[in-house]
Structure 1
Amino acid sequence: MTIFSVYIINKAGGLIYQHDHNITRPEVEKTFSYPLELVLKVFDEKIVVAFGERDGIKVGHTLLAINGIQTDGKYWDGRDILELLSHEENFPINLKFGRPKLTTNEKIMLASMFHSLFAIGSQLSPELRSSGIEMMETDTFKLHCMQTMTGLKFIVIGDPKQAAVDILLKKIYEVYADFALKNPFYSLDMPIRCDLFDSNLQAAIEQTEKLGISNV
């Protein structure tokens, strides 16, 4: 089984640590004839699939390359991509689609959004002093969250069948206390930059992955 990534969010909703452990982003390359069977649009300065799915290409995938040459946002080889794809003389054309890596700004934004959702979840709960969101599950991943008494949130995203993620969360907290908080150069709630923290976190993740499939 697999742990995909780890996020640590401070009590104000700021992202202070993020680690991508084992994220695979499948890419699909196909030669298309005119007219293009997919509907593309510009989103966040990138060309994405807005409608139509085929051969592993899905809505939300980003256009990564044309004829083997990487795209630059909504441009390719200095040309507007949507304009390029609107002319029959440019076909057949080879297009590569996939999910690009999240940028640092996107990760910071997602951390802030989850912080807000966590607070909303606590307020919506019919029980007083609700612990907030502890788990979110999809068909491809499961998000686990543990909040400390000081408001620090530890988030692990992994395979839905990965076992012992609750133990991993507690271990990450221990690693944080031992190698971040005890570091004289570390200031509370500031980004974590510590080699010992990185190596011990990596070891904890690898140990958890060896436990395999959860029965839950």
Structure 2
Amino acid sequence: MELASHLHSLILEKSVWAAAVAIFSVYVVNKAGGLIHRLDSYAPRAEAEKTSSHPLDLLLKLHDEPLAINGVDVNGKFMADGKEVLGYLSNPANYPVSIRFGRPRLTSNEKLMLASMFHSLFAIGSQLSPEQGSSGTEMLETDSCKLHCFQTLTGIKFAVLANPRQAGIDSLLQKIYEIYSDFALKNPFYSLEMPIRCELFDQNLELALEVAEKAGTFGPGSQAEPAMDPPHFGISCSRDPAVSVPMERPTALLVPLEMGGC
């Protein structure tokens, strides 16, 4: 139930921009289930702001999510200056007030937990699949987005959350793997399984997403995906494909004497 709730929240967060953005997010998960890199490429969500006088013509409950009151950010039940939201709104001296509403984005901790749960779901899928030697969960499909996953031979997972009609995601996953090999693994200052902090990796990843959205594919023979059926949720698992993959860690590496980062 917890995984379904977080997936539903993530799907709602992306669905508003599904018509305008082709690729929403990229996640890199290590073999232990830790999120070591993420990139969100979707535009900020639309927000609504309303100014009211006392008494407030809105009934706020604890589950409502105001983003700001009079320009002061709100985090849960408290404002950024430490004042309690419901207590502030109950004081007539604070009126008129301007309240901004919107769906909050997932926090960093929620994204870490989501990556860990997907790692567990991936392992469960490989065990439950009737195919011998199953590669695990390759795709989670809904009516508003698709989560595509590619796992390397060393257990690193690359996941792309995209518009269901976006073509060439398999080629994009391979391209992201190549970027990871070239700009993370070949960096002598990068430690395996640790968060990726490399400017060149970020730049090339953003460029790859831009090319994928414009061209639709990195490889020949890819065709646009058909229109979606009525709303549904599905999981796809298949036998581990025989694909050629780049070398993950070079056996020898010449390191320049001058110290430097990515």
**Corresponding letter in the other structure for 2:114:** L
Aligned match for 2:58, one of 11, 15, 36: 36
Specify whether residues 138 and 31 from structure 1 end up closer, same or farther in structure 2 by C-alpha distance, changes over 3 A only.
farther
SS of 1:134's equivalent in the other structure is: strand
Question: Normalized per residue, which structure has more strand?
Answer: 1
Note the residue ranges of structure 1 that are not aligned, 5 or more in a row: 42-47, 50-61
**Corresponding letter in the other structure for 1:124:** L
1:187, distance to aligned residue in structure 2 (A): 1.8
1:93, distance to aligned residue in structure 2 (A): 4.6
Greater shift in the superposed pair: 108-117 or 138-147: 138-147
1:104 & 1:116 partners in 2: Cα distance?
A: 19
SS of 1:122's equivalent in the other structure is: helix
2:200 & 2:92 partners in 1: Cα distance?
A: 56
Q: Deviations over 1:135-163 (max 9, x none)?
A: 11233322111111211100111222222
SS of 2:147's equivalent in the other structure is: strand
Aligned partner of 2:249 in structure 1 is none
Aligned partner of 2:45 in structure 1 is 25
**Larger C-alpha radius of gyration, 1 or 2?**
2
8 A contact 2:164–2:225 mirrored in 1? no
Q: Deviations over 1:56-105 (max 9, x none)?
A: xxxxxx21012333224312354322344567887775321113333322
2:69 & 2:176 partners in 1: Cα distance?
A: 42
SS of 2:135's equivalent in the other structure is: coil
Aligned match for 2:185, one of 176, 181, 184: 181
Aligned partner of 1:133 in structure 2 is 137
The count of aligned residue pairs is 197
1:87 & 1:214 partners in 2: Cα distance?
A: 56
2:172 & 2:206 partners in 1: Cα distance?
A: 11
Note the residue ranges of structure 2 that are not aligned, 5 or more in a row: 1-20, 217-222, 227-262
Specify whether residues 92 and 124 from structure 1 end up closer, same or farther in structure 2 by C-alpha distance, changes over 3 A only.
farther
2:115 & 2:27 partners in 1: Cα distance?
A: 8
- Percent sequence identity is 60
1:183 & 1:78 partners in 2: Cα distance?
A: 44
8 A contact 2:166–2:225 mirrored in 1? no
**Corresponding letter in the other structure for 2:47:** E
Aligned match for 1:156, one of 160, 180, 183: 160
2:176 & 2:115 partners in 1: Cα distance?
A: 17
8 A contact 1:122–1:130 mirrored in 2? yes
TM-score w.r.t. the length of structure 2 is: 0.66
8 A contact 1:141–1:160 mirrored in 2? yes
Q: Deviations over 1:36-64 (max 9, x none)?
A: 345x22xxxxxx43xxxxxxxxxxxx210
2:28 & 2:44 partners in 1: Cα distance?
A: 21
SS of 1:132's equivalent in the other structure is: strand
1:105 maps to 2:109: yes
Aligned partner of 2:73 in structure 1 is 70
Aligned partner of 1:58 in structure 2 is none
8 A contact 1:64–1:71 mirrored in 2? yes
1:11 maps to 2:11: no
**Corresponding letter in the other structure for 1:3:** I
What is the root-mean-square deviation in Å for CA atoms of aligned residues? Answer: 2.5
1:12, distance to aligned residue in structure 2 (A): 0.7
**Corresponding letter in the other structure for 2:149:** C
Aligned partner of 2:83 in structure 1 is 79
1:117 & 1:23 partners in 2: Cα distance?
A: 28
Aligned partner of 1:121 in structure 2 is 125
1:132 & 1:29 partners in 2: Cα distance?
A: 44
Specify whether residues 66 and 139 from structure 1 end up closer, same or farther in structure 2 by C-alpha distance, changes over 3 A only.
farther
